[in-house]
Amino acid sequence: MGTFVMAHMKNSDPSKLFALLKHMAVGGLILALTLLRLFIRPKTRRPRPMLSGISMADRIVPYVHRIFDVLILVMIGSGIGIAVMTGLPGIIANGDIARLPENFHALPLHTVHVFVGRILAGIVVLHVCGALYHHFFLKDGLLARMSLAGR
């Protein structure tokens, strides 16, 4: 949302506050879901990893979700840091658009936030491509195995 919508909005645009509020709400939801997953995952039965026949991909399988978790937590942590450093919660709560910084690009945490967001987007695309490869080419039932019905 930030790269595709908010990056093109001036911080003086009155709709920017609502966009920031939505952005922060989605980040909070993702944080809650990630923490829930981190809490539940060790307590659930895990099926054996499915091999793709691509040696590089098969070697990284054990690390993929941990990498996702770390990147998501860095993304959310940098977002919280930006909000705290700029006083965004108070600015949004009071509707005081004049207190928004001219832009967020000067903040080092914004650079981290954007960089990690782009890495996450790329990894998500690769992850979806991998799942589709398993489904359409290997026909190994990976998508069915990921569903709640497959448990």
pLDDT profile of the chain (151 residues), mean per 10: 76 91 96 94 83 87 90 97 96 93 91 95 92 91 77 55
User: What does the pLDDT read at residue 142?
Assistant: 86
The string of pLDDT tens digits covering residues 1-30 is: 677 778 788 888 889 999 999 999 999 999
* C-alpha to C-alpha distance for 131 and 127, rounded to whole angstroms: 6
User: What does the pLDDT read at residue 128?
Assistant: 93
Query: How far is CA 20 from each of CA 40, 57, 107, rounded to the nearest angstrom?
Result: 30, 37, 16
Per domain, the residue ranges of the chain are 11-150
Q: What is the pTM of this model?
A: 0.86
Q: Which residues have C-beta within 8 Å of that of residue 134, sequence separation ≥ 6? A: 50, 52, 140, 142, 143
Letter for the amino acid at 44?
A: T
| DSSP class of 134 | I
- For residues 54 and 76, is the Cβ–Cβ distance under 8 A? no
